Amino acid sequence: MHDRKCGLYVKRRQNIDKEKKMTSMQSKPSIVFCHGLWADGSCFGKLIVPLQAEGYECIAAQYGLNTTAEDVALVKATMGRVSGPVILVGHSYGGTVITGAGTDDRVIGLVYICALAPDADETSQTQQSKFPTTDVFSHIEVVDGRIWLRPEGTKYFCGDLSEQEQKLVWATQGVPKPDLFEAKVGGTAWKSKPSWYIVGKKDHTVHPDLERFFAKRMGATTYELDSSHVPMLSQPDRVLDAIRAAANAAQANVRKAAPASGR
C-alpha cells in the first residue's frame, strides 16, 4: 500500500512538473542573473523583487570568480532551478559568463548590463586592452591571490549611489582570481540568441565606447543611460524596462517558432 501511494505521488509530481513547464512556455520566461567582479547576486535585488511580483521566476547565480569555466557551469546548474525558457542577465564580467552559458538550449535571450561580450577567439581582457584603461583600475590591489576593490574605488565603480550604498557594495564585493580575465569562454551565445545591451554613459569601470562596440557587434537592441557601472542599482526602473522588453520579445519569438498544438 505504501509503495502504491509513493508511486502515485511520484507520478502526480511528474505531471505537475510537466504542466508547469508547459505553462511557462505560454506565460513568462524565467530570469537568471549573473554578477560581475566586486559584486554578488545581491546587486540585482532592486530588479528581482519587482520582477517576482510580476510573476517572473528569478534567481541569481552565485559563483566563485575562480575560473570562467566554473562560473559558466554554475550558471547552467542554476538554470536547472527554474522553469524554462530562460533570459540570462549579465552585468560586467557576468556578460562573459552569459556569453558562454547562453548557448544552452534553455536560453532564449540575453541582456547585457555594462558588460563584456567576448568572441570565440577572445578573452574578457582582449577588447578591454584596445580601449583606454578606466579609472577603477587605479583603485584595486592584489592581496592573498585575489583582486580587491579598495574603499575609495567605489567612486569609480558605483559613484552615482549614496555613500551608504557605496559602502554596502564594497562590503559585499566578490573578489576574483587575477587570471580570471585570461580564459576563453567556450561559446558565443550572442551570435545565435537575441540580445539587449545597456550602456552606462558615465561608466568608469568598463569604458562606454567598449560597451557600444560590444552592443553594435552583436546587433543588440541598445539602451544608453546616464549611469555609472551599476545602473541596476542607480536606475533600476530603466533596467527593468529593458529586461521586460527582452522577455516579451524573446517569448514572442518562442511562440512563433513553436509548432501548432496537435500537430
pLDDT tens, residue by residue, 168-179? 999 999 999 999
Higher pLDDT, 20 or 93: 93
pLDDT on residue 130 = 93
pLDDT of 263 above 50:
no
pLDDT on residue 11 = 61
Give the DSSP letter string of the chain: -HHHHHHHHHHHHHHHHHHHHHHHHHS--EEEEE--TT--GGGGHHHHHHHHHTT--EEEE---SS-HHHHHHHHHHHHTTSPSSEEEEEETTHHHHHHHHTTSTTEEEEEEES-----TT-BTTTTGGGSPPPGGGGSEEEETTEEEE-GGGHHHHSTTS-HHHHHHHHHT-----TTGGGSB-S--GGGTS-EEEEEETT-SSS-HHHHHHHHHHHT-EEEEES--S-HHHHSHHHHHHHHHHHHHHHHHHHHHHSPPTT-
pLDDT on residue 27 = 81
The domain spans of the chain are: 29-251
pLDDT band at 8; cut points 50, 70, 90:
low
Share of the chain above pLDDT 70, in %: 88
Task: Give mean pLDDT, residues 241-253.
Answer: 94
Least confident among 4-8, 121-125, 183-187, 202-206: 4-8
pLDDT of 2 above 90:
no
pLDDT band at 254; cut points 50, 70, 90:
confident
pLDDT of 160 above 90:
yes
Task: Give mean pLDDT, residues 53-72.
Answer: 97
pLDDT on residue 195 = 98
Task: Give mean pLDDT, residues 225-241.
Answer: 98
- CA dist list (Å): 228 to 34, 112, 140, 158, 160: 18, 15, 17, 6, 6
Crossing angle for the helix pair 68-79 and 94-101, nearest 10 degrees?
A: 60
pLDDT band at 232; cut points 50, 70, 90:
very high
- CA dist list (Å): 106 to 158, 212, 229: 32, 27, 28
CATH 3.40.50.1820 assigned to domain 29-251? The reply is yes
Q: 19 is written with which cell numbers?
A: 504542466
pLDDT on residue 257 = 74
pLDDT on residue 23 = 46
Task: Give mean pLDDT, residues 124-135.
Answer: 94
As a whole number, the mean pLDDT across the chain is: 91
Rounded CA gap, 78 and 75, in Å?
A: 5
Rounded CA gap, 143 and 132, in Å?
A: 25
Share of the chain above pLDDT 90, in %: 84
pLDDT of 239 above 50:
yes
Measure the CA dihedral 46/74/38/183, to 10°: -140
